[in-house]
Amino acid sequence: MNRSREIQINLLNYKFEKQIARKRIIFEISIYCLIGVLIVGGLFFSTLSKRAQIADLQSANELLAVELQQSNAQTGSLVSKEKIVEQIKAREDLISNVESKQSNFAVVFEEIGKMSVPGILLIDIDVNDGNVVLNGLAASRSGMVSFLKWIKETFFAGEISDLKYDVNEETGELSFQLLVNLEVSEK
Does 20 have pLDDT greater than 70?
Answer: yes
Does 3 have pLDDT greater than 80?
Answer: no
Q: Name 158's Cβ contacts closer than 8 Å, sequence gap at least 6.
A: 180, 181, 182, 183
pLDDT at residue 184 in the model: 55
Does 121 have pLDDT greater than 60?
Answer: yes
> What is the residue-averaged pLDDT of the chain?
82
pLDDT at residue 44 in the model: 96
* Residue 66 to residue 78: CA distance in whole angstroms: 19
For the segment 147-170, the average pLDDT, to the nearest whole number, is 80
Q: Which of 80-89, 153-162, 165-174 bottoms out in mean pLDDT, i.e. has the lowest?
A: 153-162
100 burial via Cβ count (<10 Å: 0-12, 13-18, 19+): exposed
Portion of the chain with pLDDT greater than 90, in percent = 26
| CA distances in angstroms from 179 to 84, 135, 156, 182, listed in the order given | 41, 9, 13, 10
Does 164 have pLDDT greater than 80?
Answer: yes
What pTM was estimated for this model as a whole?
0.43
CB count within 10 Å of CB 147 equals 22
pLDDT band at 129 (very low <50, low <70, confident <90, very high): confident
HSE of 61 in the Cβ direction (CA atoms, 13 Å)? 6
* Residue 131 to residue 180: CA distance in whole angstroms: 6
By C-alpha distance, which of 124, 129, 185, 123 is closest to 157?
185
Q: SS3 of 187, please?
A: coil
* Residue 133 to residue 138: CA distance in whole angstroms: 16
Helix (H) or strand (E) holding 121: strand 120-128
Portion of the chain with pLDDT greater than 70, in percent = 86
The alpha carbon of residue 81 and the mean position of all alpha carbons in its chain are separated, in whole angstroms, by 22
- For 61-120, the pLDDT digits (tens) are 999 999 988 888 777 777 777 888 888 898 888 888 777 666 566 667 777 777 777 888
